């Protein structure tokens, strides 16, 4: 994604992995049989590889620079976590991306996690001398307090095969232990240009990040949707959604808010050029990328 300017705020991307990833039928359990396959050829060709029938899914972070602070939004899967394939991405592309931004880990002022799934909190911590410590020594980490409380409770009472408690133990708990976490509520705001939009459903308290400056607006939508298909079909939640019905309501709330406006929408998993806009149609919503 090229640099997106929103008034005085700029947004860029650091990609951890990219490319064809999943077959839609395995991702959207409540899609009618054949519906995804029929719809995919109508999607932007950058979101779908017809030869393999796979959706193109990117794993990335966003760097949001306000006039006062550098904010890292979502931190991919990270390094040394010991995750089994295919979640054991090489670490170098993300580190190279940080460097290409002209940044070191010491330059990040805030880390904002839209939610605390495996692919959104990985670089929160790094392994030093056998201990997980915050990767960004000068950063405050912003977690929604209900999201954090859910994963803390889940880690303390793990259900086999449901959640991997190691994700919380490695990526979240050490940040709180180091005194670098801000456990915030629905009214969180930063620098007069960043506010939180609670969008529960995909996880206990998934959040979007609302960015407004000089009359312009962008919304980082985390995992509110994973693929363009869900703009046409907001009723399709994923196998990864904790409360699929709530996820639908959150999508409709945000879609209705941003559609037919110049607001740039930035879903974490949409491939380059990533940012897009929504418009209403007679039967719902449609997506169009903002071209580089
Ligand atoms: Zn995700």
Distance, in Å, from the CA atom of 72 to the CA atom of 98, rounded to the nearest integer, reads: 10
* Ligand 1 centroid – CA 124 distance (Å): 15
pLDDT score at 181: 98
pLDDT score at 161: 67
Structure tokens given for 23? 């077959």
Of 16, 24, 102, the C-alpha closest to 61 is 16
Q: What is the CATH number of domain 4-289?
A: 3.60.15.10
* Ligand 1 centroid – CA 109 distance (Å): 23
DSSP letter, residue 25:
G
Global pTM reads 0.97
* Ligand 1 centroid – CA 228 distance (Å): 14
pLDDT tens digit string along 162-198?
678 999 999 999 999 999 999 999 999 999 999 999 9
Q: How many CA atoms lie within 13 A of 121 on its CB side?
A: 28
Domain ranges of the chain: 4-289
* Residues in the 5 Å CB sphere of ion ligand 1: 119, 223
**31, 140, 231, 244, 262 from 283: Cα distances, Å:** 16, 43, 11, 21, 21
* Ligand 1 centroid – CA 271 distance (Å): 13
**61, 73, 113 from 140: Cα distances, Å:** 16, 12, 11
* Ligand 1 centroid – CA 119 distance (Å): 5
State the virtual CA torsion across 188, 190, 192, 193 in degrees, nearest 10.
-100
Intervals of the chain under pLDDT 50 = none
């Amino acid at each position: 994604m090229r640099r997106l300017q929103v008034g005085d705020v700029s947004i860029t991307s650091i990609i951890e992995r990219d490319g064809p990833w999943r077959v839609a039928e395995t991702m959207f359990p409540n899609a009618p049989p054949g519906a995804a396959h029929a719809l995919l050829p109508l999607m932007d060709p950058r979101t779908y590889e017809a030869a393999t029938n796979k959706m193109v899914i990117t794993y990335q972070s966003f760097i949001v620079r306000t006039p006062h602070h550098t904010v890292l939004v979502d931190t991919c899967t990270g390094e040394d976590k010991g995750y089994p394939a295919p979640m054991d991405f090489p670490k170098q592309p993300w580190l190279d991306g940080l460097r290409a931004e002209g940044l070191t880990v010491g330059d990040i002022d805030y880390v904002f996690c839209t939610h605390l799934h495996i692919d959104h909190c990985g670089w929160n911590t790094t392994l030093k001398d056998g201990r997980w410590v915050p990767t960004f020594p000068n950063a405050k980490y912003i977690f929604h307090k209900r999201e954090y409380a859910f994963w803390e409770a889940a880690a303390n009472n793990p259900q086999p095969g449901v959640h991997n408690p190691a994700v919380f133990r490695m990526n979240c708990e050490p940040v709180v232990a180091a005194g670098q976490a801000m456990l915030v509520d629905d009214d969180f705001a930063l620098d007069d240009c960043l506010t939180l939009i609670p969008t529960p459903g995909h996880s206990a308290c998934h959040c979007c990040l609302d960015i407004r400056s000089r009359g312009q607006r962008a919304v980082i939508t985390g995992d509110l949707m994973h693929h363009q298909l869900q703009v046409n079909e907001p009723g399709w939640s994923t196998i990864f959604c904790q409360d699929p019905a709530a996820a639908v309501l959150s999508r409709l709330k945000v879609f209705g808010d941003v559609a037919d406006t110049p607001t740039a929408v930035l879903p974490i998993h949409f491939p380059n050029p990533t940012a897009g806009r929504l418009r209403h149609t007679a039967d719902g919503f449609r997506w169009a990328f903002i071209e580089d």
